Structures are given as structure tokens and as C-alpha cells.
């Protein structure tokens, strides 16, 4: 992968420049858009249950009503307010996403970096372990585990998702560590007698930041989708709401047959927008690490002689600006 | 050949791990969720069936875990996955063998088509970076962020109805027996069209993105410049030089992400009430039918392992370097 060389290059940026470059990641439009949307979701996760106009579980006398001034997103078969359910459900979704993301990321760093750095038999064992988890279909495994649990609280579901979804990141981290461990600065640290944990924490991890971050974001996407899927098929805690619960009831109460689109459309869109925001952040990270992946803008260029030339890939997009001026 | 044997050993190991997990999970759970189900069916279960359940769920306190484990394997080799609670007293293996072909056709065909289309579009998007193809990326990102099952619900809402050609549920018209004849096959295709399209739309974007990124990376290699310099046609450089090399990581990525994809596609079956293993898993979940759930998990895992093996064979054929060593 080409990102390997660029990751190394980030480390050689002189210290004087570091301050100015700190916010370069946010300057990426995709990443900035993603971060803003994610920020709104996190905010709603904190205040959502408080600002919800109704109690999400409270029954009303308006059954399966389309959106109105009173109920912005209509009502369910019990007269519950869909908008309140959506707001109250955000907390559970964001919590499970981040908690599972953190669990999986910690595991993948521990296993992936250790396997890559230590090598030998340890590497073989840990690699086999992560490959096994990678190949076993995660969702059916999660369903099997959670269905065997007597209660399916949010943190428990998040833990199960985290414990089963670390393998992909571990694999990527291992590959990246392998390419870093023979670099001069790591050799130098080892030669000066640094302890193994110190080399890993202070020499390797800073250079793996981008990979770890993008792995974390990817796991959050997976965890959110898994939690909603589990809730949709009925594996969820009975006390809290999340978007999957809304879809579960909508499906169970034949919302489709009743033409009650307001019941299932908002929850799905909420998931899609959150997922898109997280993907945008990941694109931002990818493009930050490997600038070549950026969308190139216009590649058809009119030369001074009036001919149209299409720029080939393999050149960096910067060339375009110089020609057009 | 050495490569192939290594992979084979790895899959055997993974299968062993999955089966052992399946054996251990009910035993690690505090409490005894299955005991109540056994008492519920006490009058109807034959002593042999109860015996088999005891082994499957580790309720036999007289036996050591080691002995249970050996007995569990013996049952598996006889194809005995226990009796289903929901469809009592049908054996789980019978239910699964009825529903597995549906899933294999639907998921198998759509996954391969999705990979082919996605890779093709990815080649285009990577080679013609900066043209309209860049517009594909935001659209596909949005589609891939949507849960498969929700897209299925929307598809049913929009495209099915009393006078629509596309049916909203089932695998074929009621009353038709699965057979290779002129009544069943068209009906099955008609019923499978919408679920297949749903899976296709939501899974294709991942392939587009990874292939595009690989194409962009490969395109700046020296051998591409050389190919251009030799005066080869743009098309030949794109397909014969760039795409051919960019394909390799995508194929191995295909194998590795099968587990993720299959999990998502099972959900589409639930929404469409498609008679495959995903729908069975859903019904088993609702009825707390543990033997059926575990059986479905095992069968899905083994299928994914076999698919992985096939992807490895494809890789072996595509990449000469893996052949040279053996």
C-alpha cells in the first residue's frame, strides 16, 4: 500500500511546522462535514431524551397518524410519538457505537501491534486468531451469543460487538507494524536500549495513529449497524429505545401494509446519515494519509493552443492549477 | 500447492474453532435458559431426543466437559443437530437442508454479480479519476451506510403492491414444489428479483471504493508509465496492466469480507420472508429455538469457509507468484 510511505513521511515533518499542520485534517472538506454531522449526533445523544416532546413509550389516542404539527413524525400503533422515540433512541445508538468501537480498537492495537512487532511464534498464533475471527460471520455469531444471554443491556451488546469485530483492524495494524519495525528510527530506539513497550508506545503508535483512527471509525459504523440489526430482529434491552426498536415495531405492526411510511423512514435515514458522516471522516483520514486518493477535480484541460488534453492519473492534482493559470 | 494446503489447514482450524465456540457458548451462559424449554416439551420428547439435547446444551451434569465434547462431535458427524422447537419434532438438519439452497442461490449469485459490477465500476472510477465517475462515490457511500434490511423495506414499499409484477414476500408462488420445471423456475426468479436488487445496491459500493483506490495506487507505478510510453492503447493499459494488478488485493478482500456480507444479506431474507436460512434464524430467534439457531450458525459458517476456499483458488489462478513457490 502506498500509505506506508506517507505515514513514515508524516513523522519527519520538522517540529516548527507541526503547529500549523495540526488542523490540516479538518481542512479536508469531507472530514469536516463528517465531523460536524457526528457532532450533532453526539449532542442529540446527550440532550435527546430531555428535549423529546413526549415520553417515547407513552401511549396516546391518535393511532398511526401521519406527521402533523402535534406529532412531527406521526404516531405508532399505540399512539406513541415517533419523533420522541427517534430522539430518545440516539443515546443508545451513539453509546453502543462508541463503546464497541473503543473495545475493538484497544483489542486490535494490543493484538495487531504485538503480532507485528514481536513476530515469530507469537505472531503466528495471534494472526491465526484474528483470521479465525475474520472469517467466521460476525453477525450470526453476535446473534448466537446475545440470544443466549438472559438480558441484553446496551453495554453488554456493545461488549459482544466489540469482542467480535476487532479482527480486521488487527490485521491492518499488523501489516503496518511489520513495515515500520525495520525503519531506522525504530532500530535506533532499540539500539539505545529502549524497552519494548516504550518502543511500541512512543515510536510505533504515533505513526499508526491514522490507521487506528480509521479502524475505530469503521468499527463504530459496524457496531451501529449491528446494534440496529439486532434490535430489528428483537435482540435488545427492554428499557431503552434505539432506532432498531422503532423499525422492529414498524415491521411487526405491518407499517408497510398500513402505508405508514413515517414510521420506518426517519429511523432509516437517521442511520444512513450517521453512517455517511462516519464514512466521510474515514475518507478524510484515507486522503490525509494518501493524498493521491483525493478526487481530482476537472482533469480535462484546455492548453494555450486550444487543444483539450485529459490528464492521466499518476500525476498529483496540483499540476492542474499551474496549467489553468 | 503448498499455499493451497496451508489455506486448507487454516480453514479446517477455523471450522474447528467455530464448532467449539458453538459448543461452549451455551455452557458459558449463567443460568439455564434451555431447561424451561425442555420441561415445556417433556411429554412430547422421546428419551433419545432429550439425550441429544442434553449433549447439545451441556445440561448433563454427570458428564465431564471433555466427554460431552467428544459426544457432541459424534452427533455432528451423524448430521444430528438436534430437534427444532418451532417445527417440533422435525430435526434441525432437515429444516436447514430445505432452506439452504434458497440462500445459496440468492446470496451466492448476487454477491458474485455485485463483486463483478463493483470491480468494473471501480476500474472506471479509478482510471478516469476526475470525470463524472467521482460523483459515484458520495452516492454509493450513502447507500452502503443504509442497513440492508431497511433498503428492503423501502423497496417493498415502493415497488410492490396489489398490481405490481414484483411480489413482496416468499420464495416462489404458493403451491409450487421446488423443481427444475417451467413453472417453478420463473416464479422463483420473479420472487428473487427484488431481494437480489436490494443486496446488489447496498453491497456494490464497497467494491467500487476499494477497487478505485487500488487502481489509483497502481496507476502511478512505473510499469504503467512504460506501457503508455510504448504507445499501447489506453484501454489496453487500463485493463491489461493496471486493472489486472489492482484486482489481486480486491480478490483477497472479497474472501475476507464474505463473513460481513453474508450477515447483512441474511437480514434481507427476513424482510422479504424469503425461505432461506436467514429467515429460519429469525424465526428461531423469536421462538427461542436454540438448536435451530446453532444449526443455522454452523451451516452459515461452513458455507462462508467453503466460499473463502473458492476465492483462494481464484487467487491462486490469478497470481502467478503463489504458484511459483510450490
- The ipTM (two decimal places) reads 0.77
Percentage above 70 pLDDT, chain A:
80
Report the residue of B13, B129, B157, B238 to disrupt the A interface, i.e. the one with the largest count of A CBs within 10 Å: B129
Quick check: A147 and B147 CB within 8 A?
no
Q: Which of A28-32, A41-45, A295-299, B77-81 has the lowest mean pLDDT?
A: A295-299
Task: Look at residue A177 and give its three-state secondary structure.
Answer: helix
Cβ neighbours, 10 Å, residue B39? 9
> Domain for residue B91, yes or no?
no
pLDDT tops 70 at residue A175:
yes
> Domain for residue B74, yes or no?
no
| CB contact residues (below 8 A), chain B span 127-186, against chain A | 127-131, 134, 137, 141-142, 144-147, 149-151, 153-154, 156-157, 168
Q: Dihedral through CA B296, CA B297, CA B303, CA B304, nearest 10? A: 150
> Domain for residue B39, yes or no?
no
Domain count, chain A: 1
Sign of the C-alpha dihedral, residues B156, B158, B161, B165? negative
| CB contact residues (below 8 A), chain A span 208-267, against chain B | 221-222, 225, 228-229, 232-235, 247, 250-251, 256, 261, 264-265, 267
pLDDT tops 50 at residue B213:
yes
CB pairs under 8 A between A and B: 179
- Shortest Cα–Cα distance, A265 to chain B (Å): 8
> Domain for residue B100, yes or no?
yes
Among the ranges A220-224, B136-140, B175-179, which has the highest mean pLDDT value? A220-224
Chain position carrying cell 432452506: B99
pLDDT tops 60 at residue A13:
no
The predicted model gives B133-142 an average pLDDT of 75
- Mean pLDDT score across all residues of chain A: 78
What's the pLDDT score for residue A26? 67
> Domain for residue A216, yes or no?
yes
What's the pLDDT score for residue A101? 92
Q: Are A44 and A90 in contact (CB under 8 A)?
A: yes
- Contacting residues of B for A168, CB less than 8 Å apart: 256
Range of the domain at B311: 96-322
Domain count, chain B: 1
Distance CA A222, CA B207 (A): 17
> Domain for residue B55, yes or no?
no
Q: Dihedral through CA B317, CA B318, CA B324, CA B326, nearest 10? A: -40
State the pLDDT confidence band at A3, using cuts at 50, 70 and 90. Answer: very low
CATH number, domain at B313? Answer: 1.10.3720.10
**For A316, phi and psi rounded to 5 degrees?**
-80, 150
Range of the domain at A166: 5-312
What number of residues does chain B have?
326
State the pLDDT confidence band at B33, using cuts at 50, 70 and 90. Answer: very low
Among the ranges A65-74, A215-224, B87-96, B200-209, which has the highest mean pLDDT value? A215-224
Distance CA B309, CA B321 (A): 18
- Contacting residues of B for A279, CB less than 8 Å apart: 141, 144-145
> Domain for residue B175, yes or no?
yes
What's the pLDDT score for residue A204? 85
Q: Are A131 and A175 in contact (CB under 8 A)?
A: no
What number of residues does chain A have?
325
- Using the Cβ of A6 and the Cβ atoms of chain B, whether some distance falls under 8 Å is answered with no
What's the pLDDT score for residue A36? 92
State the pLDDT confidence band at A2, using cuts at 50, 70 and 90. Answer: very low
> Domain for residue A319, yes or no?
no
> Domain for residue A193, yes or no?
yes
CATH number, domain at A95? Answer: 1.10.3720.10
Three-state secondary structure along B130-185? CCHHHHHHHHHHHHHHCCHHHHHHHHHHHHCCCCCCCCCCCCCCCCCCCCCCCCHH
pLDDT tops 70 at residue B306:
yes
> Domain for residue A317, yes or no?
no
Long-range contacts at B51-56 (CB < 8 A, ≥ 24 apart): B52/B80, B52/B82, B52/B83, B53/B82, B53/B83, B53/B291, B56/B26, B56/B81, B56/B82, B56/B290, B56/B291, B56/B294
- Using the Cβ of B25 and the Cβ atoms of chain A, whether some distance falls under 8 Å is answered with yes
Report the residue of B150, B212, B298 to disrupt the A interface, i.e. the one with the largest count of A CBs within 10 Å: B150
Q: What angle do CA B89, B94, B97 make, to 5 degrees?
A: 155
Q: Measuring CA to CA, which residue among A91, A83, A164, A85 is closest to residue A129?
A: A164
pLDDT tops 80 at residue A99:
yes
> Domain for residue A320, yes or no?
no
- Contacting residues of A for B224, CB less than 8 Å apart: 314
Q: What is the DSSP letter of A293?
A: G
Quick check: A144 and B18 CB within 8 A?
no
Percentage above 70 pLDDT, chain B:
80
Distances (CA, A) of A219 to A194, A227, A273, B70, B268: 33, 12, 16, 37, 22
Q: What is the DSSP letter of B128?
A: T
pTM: 0.80
> Domain for residue B234, yes or no?
yes
- Using the Cβ of A160 and the Cβ atoms of chain B, whether some distance falls under 8 Å is answered with no
What's the pLDDT score for residue B202? 81
Quick check: A148 and B308 CB within 8 A?
no
> Domain for residue B213, yes or no?
yes
What's the pLDDT score for residue A233? 82
Distance CA B114, CA B199 (A): 8
Distance CA A46, CA A38 (A): 13
Amino acid at each position: 500500500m502506498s500509505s506506508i510511505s506517507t505515514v513514515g513521511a508524516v513523522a519527519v515533518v520538522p517540529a516548527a511546522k507541526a503547529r500549523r499542520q495540526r488542523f490540516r485534517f479538518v481542512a479536508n472538506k469531507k472530514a469536516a462535514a463528517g465531523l460536524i454531522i457526528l457532532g450533532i449526533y453526539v449532542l442529540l445523544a446527550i440532550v435527546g431524551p430531555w428535549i423529546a416532546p413526549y415520553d417515547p413509550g407513552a401511549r396516546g389516542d391518535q393511532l398511526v397518524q401521519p406527521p402533523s404539527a402535534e406529532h412531527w413524525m406521526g404516531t405508532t400503533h399505540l399512539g406513541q410519538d415517533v419523533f420522541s422515540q427517534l430522539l430518545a433512541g440516539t443515546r443508545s445508538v451513539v453509546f453502543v457505537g462508541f463503546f464497541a468501537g473503543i473495545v475493538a480498537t484497544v483489542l486490535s492495537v494490543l493484538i495487531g501491534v504485538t503480532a507485528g512487532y514481536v513476530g515469530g511464534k507469537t505472531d503466528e498464533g495471534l494472526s491465526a486468531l484474528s483470521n479465525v475471527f475474520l472469517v467466521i460471520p460476525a453477525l450470526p455469531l453476535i446473534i448466537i451469543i446475545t440470544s443466549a444471554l438472559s438480558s441484553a443491556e446496551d453495554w453488554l451488546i456493545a461488549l459482544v460487538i466489540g469482542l467480535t469485530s476487532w479482527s480486521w483492524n488487527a490485521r491492518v495494524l499488523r501489516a503496518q507494524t511489520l513495515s515500520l519495525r525495520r525503519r531506522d528510527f525504530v532500530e535506533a530506539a532499540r539500539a539505545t536500549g529502549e524497552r519494548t513497550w516504550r518502543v511500541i508506545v512512543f515510536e510505533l503508535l504515533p505513526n499508526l495513529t491514522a490507521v487506528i483512527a480509521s479502524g475505530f471509525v469503521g468499527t463504530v459504523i459496524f457496531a451501529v449497524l449491528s446494534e440496529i440489526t439486532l434490535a430489528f430482529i428483537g435482540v435488545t434491552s427492554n428499557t431503552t429505545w434505539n432506532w432498531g426498536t422503532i423499525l422492529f415495531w414498524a415491521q411487526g405492526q405491518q407499517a408497510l401494509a398500513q402505508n405508514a411510511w413515517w414510521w420506518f423512514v426517519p429511523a432509516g435515514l437517521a442511520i444512513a446519515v450517521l453512517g455517511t458522516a462516519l464514512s466521510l471522516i474515514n475518507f478524510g483520514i484515507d486522503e490525509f494519509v494518501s493524498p493521491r486518493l483525493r478526487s481530482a477535480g476537472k482533469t480535462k484541460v484546455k492548453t494555450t493552443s486550444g487543444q483539450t488534453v485529459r490528464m492521466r492519473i499518476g500525476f498529483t492534482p496540483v499540476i492542474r492549477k499551474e496549467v489553468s493559470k | 500447492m503448498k499455499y493451497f494446503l496451508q489455506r486448507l489447514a487454516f480453514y479446517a482450524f477455523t471450522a474447528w474453532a467455530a464448532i467449539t465456540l458453538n459448543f461452549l457458548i451455551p455452557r458459558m451462559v449463567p443460568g439455564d435458559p434451555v431447561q424451561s424449554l425442555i420441561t415445556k416439551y417433556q411429554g412430547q420428547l422421546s428419551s433419545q431426543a432429550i439425550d441429544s439435547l442434553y449433549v447439545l446444551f451441556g445440561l448433563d451434569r454427570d458428564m465431564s466437559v471433555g466427554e460431552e465434547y467428544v459426544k457432541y462431535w459424534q452427533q455432528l458427524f451423524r448430521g444430528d443437530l438436534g430437534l427444532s422447537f418451532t417445527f417440533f419434532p422435525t430435526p434441525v438438519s432437515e429444516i436447514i437442508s430445505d432452506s439452504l439452497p434458497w440462500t445459496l442461490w440468492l446470496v451466492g449469485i448476487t454477491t458474485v454479480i455485485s463483486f463483478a459490477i463493483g470491480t468494473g465500476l471501480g476500474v472506471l472510477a479509478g482510471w478516469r479519476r476526475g470525470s463524472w465517475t467521482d460523483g459515484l462515490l458520495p452516492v454509493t457511500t450513502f447507500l452502503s451506510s443504509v442497513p440492508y434490511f431497511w433498503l428492503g423495506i423501502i423497496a417493498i414499499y415502493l415497488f410492490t403492491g396489489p398490481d405490481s409484477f414484483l411480489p413482496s414476500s416468499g420464495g416462489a408462488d404458493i403451491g409450487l414444489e421446488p423443481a427444475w420445471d417451467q413453472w417453478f423456475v420463473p416464479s422463483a426468479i420473479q420472487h428473487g428479483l427484488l431481494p437480489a436488487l436490494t443486496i446488489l445496491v447496498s453491497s456494490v459500493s464497497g467494491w467500487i471504493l476499494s477497487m478505485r483506490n487500488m487502481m489509483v495506487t497502481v496507476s502511478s507505478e512505473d510499469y504503467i508509465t512504460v506501457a503508455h510510453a510504448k504507445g499501447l492503447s489506453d484501454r489496453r493499459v487500463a485493463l491489461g496492466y493496471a486493472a489486472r494488478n489492482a484486482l489481486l488485493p480486491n480478490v483477497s478482500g472479497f474472501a475476507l469480507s464474505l463473513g460481513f456480507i453474508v450477515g447483512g444479506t441474511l437480514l434481507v431474507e427476513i424482510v422479504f420472508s424469503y425461505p432461506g436460512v436467514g429467515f429460519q434464524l429469525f424465526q428461531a430467534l423469536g421462538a427461542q429455538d436454540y438448536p435451530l439457531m446453532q444449526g443455522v450458525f454452523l451451516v452459515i459458517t461452513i458455507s462462508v469457509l467453503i466460499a473463502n476456499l473458492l476465492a483462494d483458488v481464484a487467487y491462486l489462478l490469478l497470481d502467478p507468484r503463489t504458484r511459483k513457490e510450490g
